Amino acid sequence: RAAVGQTPCEGQIAVKGLSSSAYLGGSGGSVAGDTLTIKHNSGFSMFSECDREEWRPEAIAQLSLLGKAISFDVDLSKVGCGCNLAFYLISSPAHDTAGGFSSGDDRGGQPPYYCDANMVGGQWCPEVDIMEANDQAFQATPHNCESPMNKQYSYCDRSGCSQNT
């Protein structure tokens, strides 16, 4: 089922270069064509299929970016100092010790199957912070994780190897 206040399929978003449709699930924003407008304390996940009733791990979009580029435009003018607008990629969905999908049981408000390099949703997985920024600073941070066992990660480098400007 959907997390409280979060919709598993908020709307379709146009993503240049994807061979299939992309859908966003989450809360606190709106989608119009290829534009996502997001509000404070909000977040979205990208899906390859739309299911308005539940988060399905096999529908979480898997991007093949090796040898490719990703680009986006962002307006940081209203993201003040002390705030962080983040655009990041995670190796979701999370997996349990048997290698099956894990919706998690200590998600802290994150949607089912969420994972990241800081174990925010209660589960580890690789993360690349492409942008953590506001109107004063910009930082990118790749995070390294230990090799998984049965697709499950047991530890990731929380601080990562950041570069900021």
Hey, which residues are catalytic here? Answer: 127, 132
Q: Quick one: which of 91, 122, 119 has its CA closest to 107?
A: 122
Q: Is 57 helix (H, G, I), strand (E, B) or coil?
A: helix
Q: Quick one: which of 141, 142, 146 has its CA closest to 164?
A: 141
Please tell me what DSSP assigns to residue 116.
B
Q: Quick one: which of 84, 88, 87, 24 has its CA closest to 52?
A: 24
Integer CA distances (angstroms), 127 to 47, 130, 153, in order: 17, 9, 12
